[in-house]
Structure 1
């Protein structure tokens, strides 16, 4: 019960990545081929960001290697590491773990969130050397818009 209280007390902004993670596992879980779905989504995202950011060829040449590295590391942190944590929280597993085990699990999740924050902070610093601040803000907005669009497609597909 204390775990649920701690989760409820977390900042909502910290819960959005976790929510997105659960939704993406469900989305990917329905696929016969995870890699194909991942590549398709990545291609859609690249096309969307390219359109939204309107990068010059010089900016694009510097931006995409940074972004792809960041995106791959972020994916690893969100999906690969968190996957093991959330497996431990499925079903009635939470009712069976001790307070000590729950505390360790929360610490691992928090460490992963800290790693994600550090990764984002480093990425922003690198971006400031490549893009003007206005385009970095456009990137943030475009990523949010893309995620909303992807979730909407998922919802629409599920309602059919």
Structure 2
């Protein structure tokens, strides 16, 4: 139990672009409530003593099969602490975000590194343009972090400015 009164963990995530500027997003759901679903960036929990950059690269490889040198990740481009409310539990996650743009497109993902939980709750991986993400949000789709579209737009237009804003 953390200071919030809920189980807490540290995590690292990647805002990953393909060469055409599309974002990799994952569609998942609450294992106890399939009607509670959302889109989010690749990444996940940090192992004991693991630095955020290494965790982001490891999680990306485990979830997608895409391997990157942790030193190649740009950032951290943002941080957030968020309460995740699932049907059977509430958790708090403290996240550090990095970004990277692939030189070559990737159309197939390797999910062999999935945990049992990931096999249960991860439904789809998709490359989406910023415009498509805006349409998804306008149609009522939930996308995390909530500031992802604006942050991705800024990163694509201007690159990373060296700041690490706290986002929602």
TM-score for both structures, normalised by structure 1: 0.26
Which has the larger strand fraction?
A: 2
More helix by share: 1
**Bigger CA radius of gyration:** 1
- TM-score with structure 2 length normalisation? 0.25
